[in-house]
Structure 1
Amino acid sequence: MAQVVVVGGGWAGLSAALALKERGADFLLLEAAPRLGGKVFTHRGEGFLIEGGPDASVRYKKEVLALGEAFGLTPIGTLPQKPAAFILRKGRAHPLPEGLLQVVPGDLKALAKTPLLSPWGKLRALYDLFLPRGGKEDESLKEFVERRLGLEVYEALVAPLAGGIYGGEPEELSMRAAFPQLLELERKHRSLVLGAMRARRARGSREGGSLFFSFAEGLSALTRKMAEALGERTLLATPVLGLEPGKGGYRLHTPRGVLEAEAVVLATPAPVAAALLRPFLPEATALLKGIPHTPAATVSLAFREPLPVRGHGLLMAKGEGYRVRGFTWTHQKWPGRAPEGFSLARAYLSGEVARLAEAELVRVALEDLRRFLGQEVKPERTWAFRFPEGMPAYRVGHLERVERLEMALLKAPGVFLAGNYLEGVGLPEVVRTGRRAAERAVAYLALSPSPG
């Protein structure tokens, strides 16, 4: 019997297993797939380095940065490009205004100059300076931005940015769960624009540096380091087919037989956790099933010729008629990702279109790229990656759902959850949930009598 079995070998599960090892707990990590890393998947070949899932983490959230440094990995920043990001609006690519705080304007001068907004849209945004505070505990992103800054700011600026972070349609995203800092700005400063300006001054501008980082060998370099540190305490291609309470712990049914553990960390997507808990925790199952997930996919396209593109990438404003959510010009964003003379574009898709077969995803991405460029381009190589569970959508009331989920888990002492559906979809938050679940498991073991 292991003290703790971690189910799931993505970054949440790997982080949990590392934390258990650091604390001297006896653990075993089970992963259903033949590889570790979950949505983090780096492909290397023929001089290309392709990220199938996320391609970066952020410097101002230290969890991933600290992990990399602990394993001797040196972070690399993005290549200098100014402006770095563009939004396609009314058929034209416009630079992202400088001074954004998360997804809202924090620089009045940049707001006044941006061609993304009409004169009326800019005037409506400035009306925020005179509006009273909102009174709701939580509201949707669209409701919040439209109330404070107007519909045009939401459609032209906020929706493409938020869609790039969370995928899917961001209208119903919970402010408390997804953008609590912006809610706090309104409560503290009354005006969202003034609050964003003051927060920017307090933190200093990030425009001059690299907000995002990766590693020279891609994000999977950290996956490999974590896997090496865990050694033989991981079992690949070992799905958990069933979970049930047993004497002094839990029984996990796998193709390798029945395993026993005093505690279990479920570091799986929410739908998988729901299926495992269904036989003995119906309330937790219902809460997990109630977290919507949007399918996601990426397509990378390699070209021998230079593409006529600027910056690191492009997001699509609402109503532009594109099926991709955005493009990253990988060869201009990261060093060493394509052979000399090649261009490398990555398309991001979410929603129903992301369910298409890989060949169809490539076709859709290429059609949208040709439409944007206004010219025929033929890729030398293509790669497509599909993520059926995709991204969790933090709807209004998400934090209350998570609190109820924690309460429901009290009926199954020794079961702990980790993953991107709890407190943030970014890699730092995923790592944090894994470490926290491990700490709770260790505390539980210390308080529980030994079985037998």
Structure 2
Amino acid sequence: MAQVAVVGGGWGGLSAALALKEAGADFLLLEASPRLGGKVRTLRQGGFLVEGGPDASVHYKREVLELAQAFGLEPIGTLPQRPSAYILRKGRAHPIPEGLFQVVPGDLRAVAKTPLLSLPGKLRALLDLLLPRGAKEDEALKEFVERRLGPEVYRALVAPLAGGIYGGEPDALSMKAAFPQLLELERRHRSLLLGALRARRGRGSREGGGLFFSFPEGLGSLTQRMAEALGERVLPATPVLGLEPLRGRFRLHTPKGALEAEAVVLATPAPQAAGLLRPFLPEATALLNGLPHAPAATVSLAFPEELPLEGHGLLVAAGEGYRVRGFTWTHKKWPHRAPEGFSLVRAYLSGEAARLGEAELARVALEDLRRFLGREVRPSHAFAFRFPEGMPSYRVGHLERVERLEMALLKAPGVFLAGNYLEGVGLPEVVRSGRRAAERALAYLALAQPS
């Protein structure tokens, strides 16, 4: 019997297990797949380094950097590019304005110059400097941005950027859950533009390569270091088929037999966590099943030529007739991801398009890329990755639902959750959620010990 069983070997589960190891707790980590890392999938093949899931973390959130430092991994920034990326709107690729803070402008001169916005759209955005603060505690992203900066800024700039982060349709995203820093800017500075201008200082820029980072061998190299540190306490290819509460402990049923633990950290996607909790926590199950998710997929296409591409990539605004939501020019974003003279392009899809099979995904991605380039191109390699659970969509009231979920878990003391559906979809938030779940499990064990 282990003190804690961690279910799920993504970065949330690995981080929880590392925290338990640091505290000297007896634990086991069980992962259904033969591989660890969850949505972090790094592949090296044919001279290419491909990321199937996320391809970066951000410098201004320390959780991933601190993990990397602990394992002796040196981060690398993106290659400097001006402009950093483009947005396809009305059939033309327009540079993303410099000085963005998350998904809103943080540079008034860049707003004035951008061809993404008409003159009336720019003047409406500047009205933000005079508007009063909003009165709502939470509101949808579309409502918030249109209230502060106008509908054109939302359609042309914010929606493509937010869709690239969360997938699906970003209109209904909760400001309080998905973009709390923007909500705080309005409360602190009244003007969103002035608040963004001040807040982005010292964060590093997209254009200069100081905002995002990865590692020379990709994000999977950190997965490997974490797994090596955990050693034989990790059980890959061991799915948990059922979770059964006993008196003061839990029994986990696997194809290899049952095992028991005093506490359990569920670091799986929300649908899998719901399935395990269904027999004994119906309210928590309903709350988990009520969290909307949009399926996602990526396709990386390798070409034996240097394609005429600029910046780090292209986001596609709504209404352009593309099925791909955006492209990353991987060989121009990161060093040493493709052989000299080759190009590596990654397409991102979400929603119904992401449900296609791998061959069809590759075909759709290539069709949209050819349409953008305006000419025939033939890839030498194609790598498709599908994520059926995709990305959680934080709707208005999300944090209140998470609070209700935590209250529902109190009916089965000893169960704790970690994952990107709780308080942030980024890798730093996933790492933080894993460590927090481990800390709660340790506190529970301390309280449960007889005096």
Q: Which TM-score band (shorter chain)?
A: over 0.9
Q: State the distance in 2 between where 1:19 and 1:130 align.
A: 48
State yes or no: 1:134 paired with 2:128.
no
Whichever residue aligns with residue 253 of structure 1, its letter is: H
Encode CA deviations 1:334-359: one digit per residue, 9 max, x unaligned.
11111111100000000010000000
> What's 1:121 paired with?
121
Q: State the distance in 2 between where 1:172 and 1:272 align.
A: 24
Q: Secondary structure at the match of 2:181?
A: helix
Whichever residue aligns with residue 142 of structure 1, its letter is: K
Q: State the shift of 1:50 in Å.
A: 0.6
> What's 1:233 paired with?
233
Q: State the shift of 1:207 in Å.
A: 4.5
Equivalent residues of 2:83, 2:96 under 8 A apart: yes
State yes or no: 1:409 paired with 2:402.
no
Whichever residue aligns with residue 230 of structure 2, its letter is: L
Q: Pairwise mapping of residues 5-404 of structure 1 onto structure 2 (< 5 A)?
A: 5-201=5-201, 207-404=207-404
Q: Secondary structure at the match of 2:344?
A: strand
Label 1:346 to 1:203 Cα distance change in 2 as closer, same or farther (>3 A).
closer
> What's 1:444 paired with?
444
Encode CA deviations 1:320-341: one digit per residue, 9 max, x unaligned.
1111110000111111111111
Equivalent residues of 2:159, 2:170 under 8 A apart: yes
Q: State the shift of 1:80 in Å.
A: 1.7
Q: State the distance in 1 between where 2:406 and 2:395 align.
A: 18
Whichever residue aligns with residue 113 of structure 2, its letter is: K
Whichever residue aligns with residue 115 of structure 2, its letter is: P
Label 1:450 to 1:254 Cα distance change in 2 as closer, same or farther (>3 A).
farther
Q: State the shift of 1:205 in Å.
A: 5.9
Q: State the shift of 1:258 in Å.
A: 1.1
Q: State the distance in 2 between where 1:161 and 1:262 align.
A: 43
Relative to the length of structure 1, the TM-score reads 0.98
Higher mean C-alpha displacement, 97-106 vs 29-38: 97-106
Q: State the distance in 2 between where 1:380 and 1:200 align.
A: 40
Q: State the distance in 1 between where 2:67 and 2:204 align.
A: 25
Whichever residue aligns with residue 118 of structure 1, its letter is: S
Q: Secondary structure at the match of 1:423?
A: coil
Runs of 5+ in structure 2 lacking a partner? none
Encode CA deviations 1:291-346: one digit per residue, 9 max, x unaligned.
10100000000001111110111101121111111000011111111111110000
Label 1:202 to 1:34 Cα distance change in 2 as closer, same or farther (>3 A).
closer
Q: State the distance in 2 between where 1:150 and 1:345 align.
A: 33
Equivalent residues of 2:81, 2:209 under 8 A apart: no
Q: State the distance in 1 between where 2:209 and 2:381 align.
A: 32
Q: State the shift of 1:200 in Å.
A: 3.1
State yes or no: 1:425 paired with 2:392.
no
Whichever residue aligns with residue 218 of structure 2, its letter is: G
Q: State the shift of 1:93 in Å.
A: 1.0
Equivalent residues of 2:138, 2:396 under 8 A apart: yes
Whichever residue aligns with residue 347 of structure 1, its letter is: A
Encode CA deviations 1:116-149: one digit per residue, 9 max, x unaligned.
0011110111111222211111110001011111
Q: State the distance in 1 between where 2:191 and 2:271 align.
A: 39
Whichever residue aligns with residue 28 of structure 1, its letter is: L
Q: Secondary structure at the match of 2:347?
A: strand
Q: State the shift of 1:203 in Å.
A: 5.7
Encode CA deviations 1:66-118: one digit per residue, 9 max, x unaligned.
11111011111111211111111111111111111111111111100000001
Runs of 5+ in structure 1 lacking a partner? none
Q: Secondary structure at the match of 1:83?
A: coil
Q: State the shift of 1:204 in Å.
A: 7.3
Whichever residue aligns with residue 143 of structure 2, its letter is: E
Higher mean C-alpha displacement, 261-270 vs 117-126: 117-126
Q: State the distance in 2 between where 1:380 and 1:202 align.
A: 41
Higher mean C-alpha displacement, 45-54 vs 197-206: 197-206
Relative to the length of structure 2, the TM-score reads 0.98
Whichever residue aligns with residue 228 of structure 1, its letter is: E
Q: State the distance in 1 between where 2:204 and 2:260 align.
A: 51
Q: State the shift of 1:399 in Å.
A: 0.4
Higher mean C-alpha displacement, 41-50 vs 359-368: 41-50
Once the two structures are aligned, what percentage of the paired residues are identical?
82
Whichever residue aligns with residue 271 of structure 1, its letter is: P
Equivalent residues of 2:140, 2:175 under 8 A apart: yes
